Amino acid sequence: MSHSNSKNHSQNKAQSNVRVKVIETLLAIQAGQSLTGLLDPLLNGLQGEDKGFAHALLLTTLRHWFATARLLDSLADNPIEELAVRTSIQVGITQLLYLQVADHAAIHETVEAVKKIDLSRATGLVNAILRKVSKNPNKFRKKCDKNHSLPNWLAKQLKQDWAEYYDELTQALRQPAPIFLRVNYTQANNEQYLQLLAEAELTAQLLNLTTSMALANSNINMTVSPILLQSQTPIWQLPNFAEGMVSVQDAHAQLAAPILHNVLQASLGSNSNKLSLNLLDACAAPGGKLAHWLELIESKFAPKFHVKQTDEKPAITITAIDNEPKRNSRIFENLERLQLPTTISTRELGLEILCVDATTWQANDDSKKNTETNTKNNAGFDAILLDAPCTATGVIRRHPDIALLRTEADVTQTVALQAQILDNLWGQLNEGGYLLYVTCSILKAENVAQMQAFISRHTDAQVIEFDDAECNWGIKQDIGRQCLPLVENSGDGFYFALLQKNRNELS
């Protein structure tokens, strides 16, 4: 064999091996594993262009999974039941329709990959269907793109929940998500970091999300300014990323901590004699919103809370809880990179991170506080950020495996779990305290309907309205606001509802 033939043979072998790894990863996802746990092992075993191609092939196949599945069914003379065969053909279709891979390479290397996973008997079928697609790719691309690429149960629910936005929403969920950055205000501000990006020849745009809320004694007007990263670059190569100057966080996710922070600032303005502030971040892992909250509390660019520090306890105590040990470890990793909290040694701020079940956990049991203070009217927390477990349907652009992993039954189970957590934590919120309920779901059952059910169970819960005229994000709901990922550079699908516990609850 000549040197050039040997080189081509090794390249072809590597290319088909990439496809084998992608097919195996897709089969693992269909068996119930998440992309989050599978992506790094896949990419770490590849080099150079193979790594980029594998990433693009896997994510693009997932984004168009249900559309290419329908196309496959229409092209097959007989139903194809075997999962590995279906998956291999869909990987081939994705290359032909969405990745501009040359026809001969897409077909030949996919057939070779099929052989490598012991499906030689199916090579004729795979070859025939892919050749049929390659003869008229424009026709089949239009057919794939015409409708949604979601499981039918989810598409049906979205049509029921969001009929007005249905076509726009279901098409948007097939697109890659933009990358947004959050500057660590303990180290720099947006203007300083935008300068660093410019010096690194990275293009970015500062966005402004405005919010207005009316409290009993004050109106709150706030602006959150995420940075949209328009250049493509590995995240670890961002300026001062390793030093913790910046984090990757969706634009809408960046609303959560500032909403509670500003509400607390306003309420403390009329209660400056408060001795301490007790805060809870529930379901906190991997810690993005917790880190943001800490950054705001310790920011060099914002006023401090007016709380009196005592010898007995820190002025501000934050408890963060989550029930998954592996995810909890991510909180520590993220805070370490961000060099947070910066003031923990001065006893201005106390931070406790616990691995507990939010449906049953009682803070008083853990902290062994004086039971005399633990009355129904002083349950412990002044504010709770509940980043509730959800179906994560609002982040399908970022995690397209969600469309394959979720089932209709998951929604019912998740709604019940959310209600348990809400009821347990509400009993631990001080009168006059605030609870911000957040999900990354776009299903009303988990969001506005969940809040309506909660309000009906808890007569001491008062909704703090977002001023629709002053909010330039989200869609007003009967309770709270719903963000939908409708346009190219929009944030993910998040829901926000802010509640206050009435002071005059009758025992």
DSSP H stretches of helix in 31-151: 35-44, 48-63, 65-75, 83-98, 103-116, 123-135, 137-146
Burial of 280-301, coded b for 16+ CB within 10 Å and e otherwise, reads bbbbbbbbbbbbbbbbbbbbee
Q: What tokens does 15 get?
A: 């290319």
Q: Are 287 and 385 within 8 A, CB to CB?
A: no
Report the SS3 class of residue 212: strand
Give the contacts of 398 (CB within 8 A, at least 6 positions apart): 177, 250, 492
440 assigned to active site: yes
Exactly one of 144, 283, 390, 440 is catalytic; name it: 440
What is the 3 state secondary structure string of 340-360? CCCCHHHCCEEEEEEECCCCC
Q: What tokens does 135 get?
A: 């003869």
Question: How far is the C-alpha of 93 from the C-alpha of 112, rounded, in Å?
Answer: 15
My answer on whether omega of the bond before 79 falls inside 30° of 0, hence cis, is no
Amino acid at site 467: D
Count of Cβ atoms closer than 10 Å to residue 438 Cβ:
26
Residue 500 CA, chain-centre distance (Å), reads 26
Q: Which residues are catalytic?
A: 440
